[in-house]
């Protein structure tokens, strides 16, 4: 949907950059410019050091362009050829609406969409769903939960039940990748529990946010070049699994690593229990 030559990625910053790019493309396209004429001016990072204002400015420009052009009708030039302006505007509206839900659930925001917009986009999309899927623009149809919003999201390959635990685990993994103890603890409950991997065979159990924080502060503060890399994660209900690789530099300057997994219990969008297991 939307921008003529891009499929959005799942990273939050990339998603916002993608939508910003769609907005920047809108004005020249509705003014009659071709993709070749626009060229690569909207490639790469469009957000810069002021992402919010960059995105808002692009959205405002696109809104003005559509408001001025829509009453006249006409066509726009897209990657697959000439298209009716009304169709292009519906593509943009659908892409923005679906990505609004993507961003909301990924950041812990309110995922409820405007019912009138859901109805408009769903009515338009019903005749185009299979075309978009066959072209690879959307994934397989997901489970629907009976209401209009979840039905639209299902058609776009999203499960409306994907919720706070999924978003929390994604942010939790990213925080470990950055070594950001404050961000890690913001995603753990006050009564959280951590079980480490040493000493064998049962490891050490640590309870409560203050004690768990001390473990992370010691880990990242005293381990040279400590770096976690996410390999895979999934959530099912209140349980999750995160596979990771941990790299560091030993006292002798030699690189080292271990691979392991966390078995997690989630509660209200936070990690309540983290049980770690390591290969070896």
Residue at token pair 């659908």: 94
Give me the mean pLDDT over the 61-73 stretch.
Answer: 94
Asked if residue 94 lies in contact with residue 1, where contact means CB atoms within 8 angstroms, the answer is yes
Domain boundaries in the chain? 12-155, 164-278
Q: Taking residues 105-111, report their average pLDDT.
A: 80
Per-residue confidence band for 106, with pLDDT thresholds at 50, 70 and 90: confident
Please say if the pLDDT value at position 6 is more than 80. Answer: no
Largest Cα span, the chain: 74
Residue with tokens 């039905």: 151
* Chain-centroid distance, C-alpha 138: 15
**Beta pairing class for 270-278 and 255-267:** antiparallel
CATH 3.90.1300.10 given to domain 164-278: no
Cβ atoms of 262 and 244 closer than 8 Å: yes
The arithmetic mean of pLDDT across residues 157-179, rounded, is 88
The structure's pTM equals 0.66
Q: In whole angstroms, what is the distance from residue 145 CA to residue 135 CA?
A: 26
Q: How confident is the model at residue 11 (pLDDT cuts 50, 70, 90)?
A: low
- Rounded to the nearest integer, the mean pLDDT of the chain is 91
Kindly tell me if the per-residue pLDDT of 88 is higher than 90. Answer: yes
Q: Check residue 104 and give its pLDDT.
A: 87
Which pLDDT does position 3 carry in this prediction?
A: 36
């Amino acid at each position: 949907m939307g921008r003529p030559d891009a499929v959005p990625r799942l990273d939050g910053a990339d998603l916002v950059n993608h939508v910003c790019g769609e907005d920047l493309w809108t004005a020249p396209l509705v003014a009659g410019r071709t993709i070749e004429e626009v060229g690569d001016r909207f490639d790469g990072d469009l957000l810069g050091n002021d992402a919010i204002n960059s995105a808002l400015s692009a959205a405002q420009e696109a809104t003005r362009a559509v408001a001025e052009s829509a009453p006249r009708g006409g066509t726009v030039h897209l990657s697959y050829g000439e298209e009716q302006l009304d169709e292009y505007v519906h593509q943009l509206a659908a892409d923005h609406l679906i990505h609004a839900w993507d961003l909301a659930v990924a950041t812990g925001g309110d995922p409820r969409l405007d019912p009138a917009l859901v109805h408009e986009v769903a009515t338009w999309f019903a005749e185009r769903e299979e075309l978009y899927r066959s072209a690879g623009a959307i994934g397989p149809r997901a489970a629907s939960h009976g209401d209009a919003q979840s039905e639209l999201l299902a058609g776009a390959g999203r499960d409306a039940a994907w919720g706070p635990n999924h978003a929390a685990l994604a942010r939790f993994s990213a925080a470990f990748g950055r070594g950001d103890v404050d961000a890690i603890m913001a995603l753990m409950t006050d009564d959280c529990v951590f079980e480490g991997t040493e000493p064998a065979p049962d490891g050490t159990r640590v309870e409560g946010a203050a004690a768990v924080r001390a473990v992370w502060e010691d880990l990242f503060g005293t381990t040279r070049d400590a770096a976690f890399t996410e390999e895979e994660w999934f959530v099912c209900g209140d349980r999750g699994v995160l596979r990771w690789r941990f790299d560091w530099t030993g006292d002798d300057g030699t690189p080292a690593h271990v691979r392991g997994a966390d078995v997690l219990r989630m509660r209200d969008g936070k990690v309540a229990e983290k049980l770690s297991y390591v290969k070896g």
